[in-house]
Amino acid sequence: MEPLPGFNASSTTGINDLGEVVGESSIQNQYPDRPVATVWRDGRPAGFAAGLSPSTAAAINRHGQVVGTLLSPPRSTSRTFRVLSRGRPPALLPGRNSWGTAINDVGTIVGHVRDMFRTRAYVHQDGRMTLLDVPGDYVASKGLNNAGVVVGVSVWDGGHNGWIFDHDVLTELPISTDAVAINSSGVVLVSRWGRENTDASLYINGRLETLPSPAGADECQAMALNDRNVAVGICHRMDGSPVVVRWSDGDVVDLSNLISDGSGDGWFLTAVSGINGAGQIAGWGWITDPQGEYVRRAFLLSPVP
């Protein structure tokens, strides 16, 4: 998917069930980088407002409401922004040094905010920001479902672990985990760091179920989950090269091997950020542009009927 006019690179962060994708447009190799929050509808990019730079959009719900982060140069402060409906300008949430990471279909936003001493996870609902009572020096929300159950990661001196926050009830996952997403059934997608490798897992009914690695690769990192328990993530081969994968019904597939119509010619898929209920997958990779430059571009993979 093309970036906004005036930019030559793009990447994604999320997708909703209508196939609308969010992320950012940027100028490759520019320093300092000044990305601009971007939404793609029907594959066409659109910005949110003049002056919303540098910024990135993090998530979009089925109503087209967007949450993201506005960064103040040189990225010394940040503010969470939200877009309440398609075509509306963004509005800043209260509180400096905050990051917005997810929004559900009810309009509840989660993220994290930093004060002088620590970073804490928050929930923003009905115009009010509430800090979550989760222990740790750095506590970040990663996702939430429509029931308002929040997942994230807590980092402290010497370790980290994922957690689930269900209306004031905290469940801490094992050490060396990171809870990245939760679906409508309460299934949690987890990245788990071991002594020798990293794997992706599903946390179901109090148990971690490890997802398989593709042949010739390991070091898998979980990225996104839909309501059908289909997950996507990134694994790495022994030489360090990435493999973008999908997990479904206990099987794992290399997404590059699923592109059969020639539309993937010339692409090197390197990252994935979201999957919706229809199985559409958003991510980014590298391709040669018309000027002959190797550039980072967002992509949307849609299942063939």
- pLDDT tens track for 262-280: 555 678 999 999 999 999 9
* Cα 271 to Cα 264: distance, rounded to the nearest angstrom: 14
Going by C-alpha positions, the residue among 104, 105, 110 that lies closest to residue 122 is 110
pLDDT at position 290 is: 72
pLDDT band with cut points at 50, 70 and 90 for residue 79: confident
pLDDT at position 179 is: 97
> Which of 72-86, 190-204, 235-249 has the highest mean predicted lDDT (pLDDT)?
235-249
Question: Which has the minimum average pLDDT: 114-118, 130-134, 204-208, 273-277?
Answer: 114-118
Tell whether the torsion through CA atoms of 208, 211, 216 and 221 is positive or negative.
Answer: negative
pTM here is: 0.92
pLDDT at position 31 is: 65
Q: Considering the chain, what percentage of its residues have pLDDT values greater than 90?
A: 65
Q: Where are the domains of the chain?
A: 184-305
Tokens of 76: 């010394």
List, for residues 123-149, the tens digit of each pLDDT value: 999 889 999 999 999 999 999 999 999
Burial (0-12, 13-18, 19+ Cβ within 10 Å), 304 = exposed
Burial 137-169 (b: 16+ CB within 10 A, else e): eebbbbbbbeeebbbbbbbeeeebbbbbbeeee
- Chain mean position to CA 95: 22
Answer whether residue 77 shows pLDDT above 80. no
Sequence-separated (6 or more) residues with CB below 8 Å from residue 241: none
The continuous run of DSSP H or E covering 66 comes out as strand 66-72
Answer whether residue 74 shows pLDDT above 60. no
pLDDT at position 271 is: 95
Going by C-alpha positions, the residue among 172, 185, 297, 264 that lies closest to residue 231 is 185
Answer whether residue 242 shows pLDDT above 60. yes
List, as one string, the DSSP characters of 202-242.
EEETTEEEEPPPPTTEEEEEEEEE-TTS-EEEEEEETTS-E
Average pLDDT in the chain: 89
Tokens of 39: 């939404």
Answer whether residue 81 shows pLDDT above 60. yes
Average of pLDDT values for 173-201? Answer: 90
